[in-house]
Amino acid sequence: MTRRSIKVFAPATVANVVCGFDVLGFAVDQPGDEVIMRLSDKPGVSLLKITGDGGKLPLNPEKNTVSAIAREYLGHIGRPEVGVEIELHKKMPIGSGLGSSSASTVAGLFAINSLMDSPLNNKELVPFAMKGEELACGYGHADNVAPALMGGFVLIRSYSPLDIISLPFPADLHAAIVYPEVDVPTKDARQMIRSKVFLKDAVTQWGNVAGLVSGLFMNDYELIGRSMTDVLVEPTRSILIPDFYKLRSQAMKAGAVGFGISGSGPSVFALTKDKETALQITASLQHHLKNISINSLAFVSEVNKKGPVILD
């Protein structure tokens, strides 16, 4: 083994990308989480500490996704005897709709895989990371973990069998993300969604999904923007986000390519053609939220091209 310890960053992610519920997601350069992992002579996976979570995450190594999935991974590669010590440093808000659990799980998985001399590639790690999502959110979706592992824009064409496609995107594409500090647990946000929908609305939705994918391949910002429409999920989920339609209107006026809810919210995001517009949008949205007495965090970055990276 080449290393005894490692520090890994894994990125936050924007799942759904408005129209692509459960099938599209992309990674951003910031925020994200960090995991420090050390091999130990004492067998078993232990969780030494968690910082930045405000006491919200379980320190029990069987319940915490990072340690639980590391153990699952070691069993899978036939190395259950390996001893590992883990530190999780949350650098992003929990329950924000930015793939917080995904960033932690992916950082941990990438770390343990690297310590084991990378027997699996990042795409092969996706099913393990999905188990982490199931543990954290009650639902093993891939639209956060796949882009967190692979970077860029990702399509989950199929869940059964799992079929993941990396999509191209315009080189200058930026994301402006604002997290209004209100509470929207993923489980509740999912339960709000109806299990049956009108076929005509589904047709509208897959027209937009096809349009968004085409726009990404064609580097066509206009088409990307026109396609960022969600007639099925956003009308319900937006109820949980303060002044959602006012925020959209401000973002679009400020030059956003498109705007919507990140994952199950409450974070919102805009895609832009440059960093300057992204900064103007976050400033404008944060100003609006402050006026209605809601604290917020903002993040501006390019679309992440790397997935998880080794920091140390």
Kindly tell me which residue out of 3, 7, 22, 294 binds a copy of itself, with binding defined by CB under 8 A.
Answer: 22
Calpha distance 112→107 (Å, rounded): 9
Q: Is 66 exposed, middle or buried (0-12, 13-18, 19+ CB in 10 A)?
A: buried
Q: Is 138 annotated as a binding residue?
A: no
> Judged by CB under 8 A, does residue 165 bind a copy of itself?
yes
Give me the least distance between CB of 177 and a copy of itself, in Å please.
23
Coil/strand/helix, residue 57: coil
DSSP 135-183: HHHSS---TTHHHHHH-SEEEEEEETTEEEEEE---TT-EEEEEEES--
Residue type, 112: I
Q: Is 20 or 32 the residue whose CB approaches a copy of itself more closely?
A: 20
Q: Is 95 annotated as a binding residue?
A: yes
Q: Is 267 annotated as a binding residue?
A: no
Q: Is 104 or 205 the residue whose CB approaches a copy of itself more closely?
A: 205
Residues 6+ apart with CB under 8 A from 210: 227
Kindly tell me which residue out of 8, 155, 175, 278 binds a copy of itself, with binding defined by CB under 8 A.
Answer: 155
Kindly tell me which residue out of 134, 163, 188, 276 binds a copy of itself, with binding defined by CB under 8 A.
Answer: 163
> Judged by CB under 8 A, does residue 21 bind a copy of itself?
yes
Evaluate whether 11 touches 132 at the Cβ level (below 8 Å). no
Q: Is 7 or 226 the residue whose CB approaches a copy of itself more closely?
A: 226
Q: Is 5 annotated as a binding residue?
A: no
Strand partners, 301: 175
Give catalytic residue positions: 133, 186
Number of residues in contact with a copy of itself under rule CB under 8 A: 39
> Judged by CB under 8 A, does residue 157 bind a copy of itself?
yes
Residue 297 token pair: 């965090």
Residues 6+ apart with CB under 8 A from 218: none
Q: Is 301 annotated as a binding residue?
A: no
- The residue among 257, 162, 145 whose CA lies nearest residue 211 is 257
Range 91-150, binding a copy of itself (CB under 8 A):
none
Range 215-234, binding a copy of itself (CB under 8 A):
217, 223, 226-227, 232
Can the peptide bond before residue 119 be classed as cis, meaning omega within 30 degrees of 0? no
> Judged by CB under 8 A, does residue 42 bind a copy of itself?
no
Give me the least distance between CB of 163 and a copy of itself, in Å please.
6
> Judged by CB under 8 A, does residue 43 bind a copy of itself?
no
Give me the least distance between CB of 158 and a copy of itself, in Å please.
6
Give me the least distance between CB of 236 and a copy of itself, in Å please.
11
**What is the per-residue burial (b if ≥16 Cβ within 10 Å, else e) of 212-229?**
bbebbeeeebebbbebbb
Return binding residues. Answer: 93-103
* Contact footprint for a copy of itself (CB under 8 A): 19-24, 155-159, 163, 165, 167, 193-200, 202-211, 213-214, 217, 223, 226-227, 232
